[in-house]
Amino acid sequence: MSEMQSARRGRPGYDQQGILAVAVAAFNEYGYDATSIGMLAERLGLSKSAIYHHFGSKDEILDRALDSALSSLEAVVEDEPADAGGGAAGRLERVLRGAVHVLVDQLPAVTLLLRVRGNTDVERTALSRRRTFDRRITALVSAAQSEGALRDDIDASVAARLTFGMINSIVEWYRPGGREGADRLADDVVAIALDGLRKR
Amino acid sequence: MSEMQSARRGRPGYDQQGILAVAVAAFNEYGYDATSIGMLAERLGLSKSAIYHHFGSKDEILDRALDSALSSLEAVVEDEPADAGGGAAGRLERVLRGAVHVLVDQLPAVTLLLRVRGNTDVERTALSRRRTFDRRITALVSAAQSEGALRDDIDASVAARLTFGMINSIVEWYRPGGREGADRLADDVVAIALDGLRKR
DNA sequence: GTCTATACATTGATAGAC
DNA sequence: GTCTATCAATGTATAGAC
């Protein structure tokens, strides 16, 4: 949790996790390209070459962080109990809530993931995994439409993108310890996405 | 509209607008920091110093692009006919539709705006204008709740952020010439934001 | 596991000719 | 309005001592 050396013991040494946390925070603050290894070294209280002892390249730091975020998001879809009831619409609602929780719990890594543009191989690989995730969400929306649970006058792909656009935008403003907890936030997202803001 | 020299006459020369269009496209493709003046020069078929004849600095190019996007967004709120009926809820719906149209019409510039992080003075000024815009939207949501037109069990600020998060996410996938036009897309956004995806 | 020193490329920007 | 040539600064990454 802290920015300093994690658990283990020993006074001076960082491990990969400790460096990773500081690096991801800096990448989110200044942008990946605008964050130099020198800046990371300064924040860590290390020399530049000490960082290269833990990671082979700047790209590799990014790779680790993106993999962490993607694995958590993928787990939301894969570990979802498909037989928990509610059909496809029920599954979709559970996935929406799960995604909000991942965003909140892994805010820095997911924030970084959502800003990736595809400049390098590492970024392109991450984007590819994101697209696979998106397809699964679209399939879920489509199935829920076929069931008759969701309106079908909006294209499933557009509905999925807009809904996850709403969820993903949470990283732009949510800060842990604020007024809304993750559960409340997930309620709000589901309420708007499924029932809308209009009073009835 | 084209990427080459606009109107005026003369074979060789670019003007600011022509350079700006190419620069914004490159900034969106690689990110502002990852796009060097040298890359811009290559894309334009110019030397680096030719670009500095038109703009004083790389920052100034960004400044022009962001100002263009912000002016268009601000105009949506300012030029909205407040007396066109529907109360605050009506005003909000017109603003949502207007924002979608600005996103589609000025896709490159707005895309760039939405990726600004606040690293430089130029970026911080742009972020400040964005925040003012956001506050006006939140005030509109709040007024619509007070009228009884919108549900008030969701915080106005959260509702405004989630709704505009949905709209802003359009820049991540919308491409002109696709199946959905701007009007249809605005319909979909308003449908989900106000009435939700659930069939009733 | 950390350091100093350094290699080497690329960056944003300027000078001055045409 | 464009060019070539060049600058100082900064970038990633490596070598080798401790």
For the segment A18-26, the average pLDDT, to the nearest whole number, is 97
Residues of B in contact with A163 (CB under 8 A): 166, 192, 197
pLDDT band at A12; cut points 50, 70, 90: low
**Strand C within 7 A of B118 CB:** no
What mean pLDDT is reported for chain B? 94
Gap from A151 CA to chain B (nearest CA, Å): 5
Superfamily of domain B60-197: Tetracycline Repressor, domain 2 (1.10.357.10)
The residue among A139, A138, A116, A137 whose CA lies nearest residue A128 is A116
> DSSP state, A18?
H
What mean pLDDT is reported for chain A? 94
Which tens digit of pLDDT belongs to each residue from A166-175?
999 999 999 9
pLDDT band at A117; cut points 50, 70, 90: very high
SS3 content of chain B, % helix, strand, coil (to 5): 70, 0, 30
Q: Which of B30, B164, B197 sits opposite A159 (nearest CB)?
A: B197
The residue among B170, B118, B12, B123 whose CA lies nearest residue A158 is B170
Residue type at B147? E
**Strand D within 7 A of B43 CB:** no
Residue type at A95? V
* Domain parsing of chain A, residue ranges: 3-56, 60-197
Q: Locate tokens 């990946």: which residue?
A: A32
Residue A29 pLDDT > 80, yes or no? yes
Using alpha carbons only, give the angle A6, A115, A124 rounded to the nearest 5 degrees: 95
Structure token digits, residue B39:
């890359």
For the segment B80-88, the average pLDDT, to the nearest whole number, is 96
Residue B5 pLDDT > 80, yes or no? no
Residues of A in contact with B117 (CB under 8 A): 29-31
**Strand D within 7 A of B56 CB:** no
Superfamily of domain A3-56: Homeodomain-like (1.10.10.60)
Residue A185 makes CB contacts below 8 A (sequence gap 6+) with A100, A104, A170, A174, B158
* C1’ C16 / CA B13, Å: 20
Residue of B nearest to A118 (CA): B30
CA distances from A105 to A72, A100, A168, A181, B44 (A): 10, 9, 13, 11, 44
Taking the C-alpha atoms of residue A20 and residue A58, their distance in angstroms, rounded to an integer, is: 11
Q: How many CB atoms lie within 10 A of CB B128?
A: 12
pLDDT > 70: what percent of chain A? 94
φ/ψ of B150, rounded to 5, equals -115, 150
B48 touches B34 (CB < 8 A):
no
pLDDT confidence of residue B12 = 52
| Range with the poorest average pLDDT among A14-18, B105-109, B188-192 | A14-18
* C1’ C17 / CA B13, Å: 19
Residue A9 pLDDT > 60, yes or no? no
Residue A30 pLDDT > 80, yes or no? yes
> DSSP state, A193?
I
For the segment B130-151, the average pLDDT, to the nearest whole number, is 98
pLDDT confidence of residue B109 = 98
For the segment B12-16, the average pLDDT, to the nearest whole number, is 79
Taking the C-alpha atoms of residue B66 and residue B62, their distance in angstroms, rounded to an integer, is: 6
> DSSP state, A171?
G
pTM of the predicted model as reported, rounded to 2 decimal places: 0.95
Structure token digits, residue A3:
């920015």
pLDDT band at A15; cut points 50, 70, 90: confident
